[in-house]
Amino acid sequence: MEHLHLFGVDIGTWQDIEAIFSMIVTLVGLIGVYFAWRQISSSASISNREKSLEAYLDFSQKYDSLSHIDHANIQRFRAGDKTLHETDVAFYFDSYWVLHLQEWQFYQAGILPTTLYVQWVQHLHEYLHVNKARRYFAEDGAPAEASFVEGYERYGLHILRFHPDFIAFISDLQDVPFVPEKRNAAKSLNALTKLVKKHRSAGVYWKH
């Protein structure tokens, strides 16, 4: 067999040709694996974006429903509806903290992006510091109220008692100073973002 030079290899036997062919097949196989990995990665990314969008829409709907309940309670109190009892306010706070726990779990699972979750945490942070009261009528008909922090301590902690990681996050969140001035908005956002990332579990698989 006449000697040939291919890919810098001196080909003088059929065994040499087989070796070159095997090398080419291996190279093609590696290229195929690379493009298959790229396709799988792309599909996984699309799947995560879809999950994120579905979660966003679901939580937005739940927030709307909860806001309607809160607004209805406010209107009932203003109208002097003595059937507005502590149980109504307790239901609101229970639902509120369950919703935030679910958001926390979705974030920990990697379904919610950090930027979106931090935006929701900003509202929670404000509520914990502005501390607006939810009002109702006591059993004797006298006006009564529960501040937001009291609502957390009376009802929220009971709902969250099996989730110490989230309770620890809320505790740290309460320690972050609330600065309402717009000029300090960026500083506050950075502080909340750092706190959220600090509490993010090590098992998160979707980086942002």
7: left (phi over 0), alpha (psi -120 to 50) or beta: left
The pLDDT mean for the chain works out to 80
Per-residue pLDDT at 51: 82
- Provide the pLDDT confidence category of residue 120 given band limits of 50, 70 and 90: very high
User: pTM of the predicted model, to two decimals?
Assistant: 0.72
Stretch 57-68: mean pLDDT, rounded?
92
pLDDT tens per residue, range 135-173: 999 999 999 999 999 999 999 999 999 999 999 999 999
43-52, 62-71, 159-168, range with the lowest pLDDT: 43-52
Per-residue pLDDT at 73: 97
The residue among 111 and 28 whose pLDDT is bigger is 111
Per-residue pLDDT at 183: 62
- Of 99, 94, 93, 98, residue with least CA distance to 58: 99
- Of 145, 162, 164, residue with least CA distance to 154: 145
Is 60 exceeded by the pLDDT of residue 7? no
User: In whole angstroms, what is the distance from residue 109 CA to residue 200 CA?
Assistant: 9
The residue among 21 and 172 whose pLDDT is bigger is 172
Angle between helices 164-175 and 86-108 (to 10 degrees): 100
State the DSSP H helix or E strand holding residue 10, giving kind and residue range, or none if neither: strand 9-11
Domain coordinates of the chain in residue numbers? 50-199
User: In whole angstroms, what is the distance from residue 41 CA to residue 75 CA?
Assistant: 51
